[in-house]
Every structure is written in C-alpha cells, then in structure tokens.
Amino acid sequence: MTLDLSRPTLRDWLLADSPASRTQARLGRAYRASLALLRNPLAVLGALIILALLVLALIAPLIATDPIAQDLPNRLQPPSGAHWMGTDELGRDIYARVIYGTRITLEIVVLVAILAAPLGLVIGAVSGYFGGWADRVLMGLTDIFLSMPKLILALAFTAALGPGIEHAIIAIAISSWPGYARIARAETLTIRRAEYVAAVELQGASALRVIWGHILPLLTSSLIIRVTLDMAGIILTAAGLGFIGLGAQPPAPEWGAMISRGRSFILDQWWVATMPGFAIVIVSLGFCFLGDGLRDVLDPRSAERR
C-alpha cells in the first residue's frame, strides 16, 4: 500500500503503544478486546443474538401485531403465512407474543443484573479489602446463601411476596448475589497487596476512595463475564417462575407463562408450547456463547485452563 505513512489512522491511534490520554488508553483497550472477540465465531453469533434481542424489543410494535388482541374464530390455528407461529387458545398471534416477550425477558435480565451485581461487588470488595472480622461475617453470610438451593428460595420468596414479575425479579436477585460476592472477594485479595494500592494509601486516600476508585474498576471485567454467563440461568429461573404461575401474570406475553398455557394442547397443537420454548433456548444460548467469548478475551488465564 503506497499511502502517506506519516498520517496516523484511527486504527493506529487506538492501537498506540503509549497512549497520550486516559481516554485513548481505554478506547484502545476496548478496541483490542472487540477485535479478539470478532475472531471467535461463537462469540460473534452470541453477540448477534443479543443484538437481535435488543432490536426486536425496541421495534416490536413495527414488526408484530397486538400481542393481546384476541381473535376467537381463529383459535389454535397451525403455523401459516398469516400466523408464522400459529395462534393460541384465544386466537392470539404467537409470533407477536414471542416478539413482545423479548421486552419482558430484557426487563428481567437487566433489572436482576442491576440489583444483584453491584450488591455482590460491594460486599466482596469490602470483605476482601478489610479482611478480619468484616471478611468473616460477610463471607460466612455469603457461604450460607451459596449453599442454599437457588430455585427453591426464589420460589418461596415469590410465594411470600405474591405473584408478579417485580417480585420474581427481586427473588432472583436475592438468590444470585452471593456468586458475585465470592468472585469480587477473590479478585480483591489479589489486588489488595499491589504496590499501586499501597501508594494510594500512603497518599492518605480513605478506604472508600481506594475501593471505589482503585479496586472496583479492576473487578468489572470478571464481573461482566460472570453476569453474562449467569444470564441463561436467570432467564430459565424467570421462565420457570412464569411457568408455575408466580412470575409475569396474564395476559403479559411472558415465554414461561406461554409454555404453561400451551401445556394442555401439547399433544394436538404442539406449536403453542414449543414456539416460546425455542425463543428461550436461543436467547439463553446467545448469552452462553457471548459469555464464553468474553471470558476468553477478558480473562486469558481461565481460557488456558479449559
């Protein structure tokens, strides 16, 4: 290529060995990570599935009809040109309900991640940074929660709070923070003795400042990996709650609840229960693929061990 070599491209700027600013360093790191991610076909597939989930949730009204509009003369119709996935027992278009269901799934995973991840992160970082009694009490608590059956606790919590999607989200968040606390603590212990932490401490930084400004940022990448890998489990638990009747309430087009409705027709009208199931499997697989890929890119040590 006989281009003018003296003019740096955006790519050169991003991949510079000695970034001139903090922003450049961060953007460069993100760019390198995304390049590595693009070389992993399964991770790309996973990312595309998650992207499709986001886009479908956003443009649902443009590509699907009303998910709760009943059309009783056309009930339990098999898949056809008019109804790609058939209709359910109230004549509702299953395709429209599956598409609108992406919104509920997205709401669940985002809210659980927002509630559980920071909680586990702070508990783990505090525990690992202070050590001693704080560590023993917090980790004792975490271990007790970790050795409990998650699904059963989520079921019992939702039953006590009353059925509903908000309560299902709270119950799942309560049962998923301990895993994040464990990871955050383990990582904090390795950073805790680093010289740069000692340097900041000698400059008189408070514990809050050290944890917030110098430890938490380093924990985010392993936490992102773990949360992404956990997403499949969260989706399955939420669908299970919906299936039992404790999650999203009718007529909301929640996938688990849709499978539950289709249960009575499984022998003759198989599409009612199977279609939402495929949606759950595809989205969960997407998160698994992406999580695996992110782990290989952001945490090369664990990739070698596999």
Partner 1 sequence: MAFEPETAIVATLDEVASARRQRVPGLRILFGVGLFLLTLALTFIGLLAITFFIGRVVPIDPVVAAVGDRASKAVYEAAKAAMGLDRPLPVQFAAYVGDVLRGNFGVSVSTGRPVAEDLARVFPATLEMATLGILIGVALGVPMGVTAATRQGGPVDQVIRVVGLLGYSVPAFWLGLVGLALFYARWKLVAGPGRVDIAYDGLVGQHTGLILVDSLIEGNTDVFFNALRHLTLPAAILGFYSLAYIARMTRSFMLEQLAQEYVTTARVKGLPERLVVWRHAFRPILVPLITVIGLSYAGLLEGSVMIETIFSWPGIGNYLTVALLNADMNAVLGATLVIGAVFVLINKGSDALYRLVDPRAR
Q: Which is nearer to partner 1, 219 or 230 (CB)?
A: 230
In sign, the C-alpha dihedral spanning 141, 144, 147, 148 is negative
d(CA 57, CA 54): 5
Stretch that binds partner 1, among 82-90, 179-187, 211-219, 233-241 (CB under 8 A): 233-241
Q: Is 116 in the site for partner 1 (CB under 8 A)?
A: no
Number of residues that bind partner 1 (CB under 8 A): 49
Q: CB of 60: closest distance to partner 1 in angstroms? A: 22
Stretch that binds partner 1, among 50-58, 77-85, 104-112, 147-155 (CB under 8 A): 147-155
Nearest to 76 by CA among 85, 67, 86: 86
d(CA 5, CA 41): 33
* Single residue of 192, 233, 251, 299 touching partner 1 by CB under 8 A: 233
- CB 128 within 8 Å of CB 184: yes
* Single residue of 243, 247, 257, 290 touching partner 1 by CB under 8 A: 243
Buried b (16+ CB within 10 A) or exposed e, 31-53: eeeeebbeebeebeebbebbeeb
Q: If you ran DSSP here, which 8-state letter would residue 81 be given?
A: S
Site string for partner 1, 152-191 (x = CB under 8 A): xx-xxx-xxx------------------------------
Q: Which is nearer to partner 1, 14 or 105 (CB)?
A: 105
Nearest to 51 by CA among 286, 255, 288, 223: 286
**183: Cα separation from own chain's centroid:** 16
Interacting positions 252-281 with partner 1 (CB under 8 A): 256, 259, 262-263, 266-267, 270, 273-274, 277, 280-281
Site string for partner 1, 73-112 (x = CB under 8 A): ----------------------------------------
Q: List the alpha helices (DSSP H) in the chain.
A: 10-14, 22-38, 41-63, 94-130, 132-146, 150-161, 165-192, 195-202, 207-209, 216-244, 255-262, 271-298, 300-305
Q: Which is nearer to partner 1, 210 or 273 (CB)?
A: 273
Binding site residues, partner 1, CB under 8 A: 133, 136-137, 140-141, 143-145, 147-153, 155-157, 159-161, 232-233, 236, 239-240, 243-246, 256, 259, 262-263, 266-267, 270, 273-274, 277, 280-281, 284-285, 287-289, 305-306
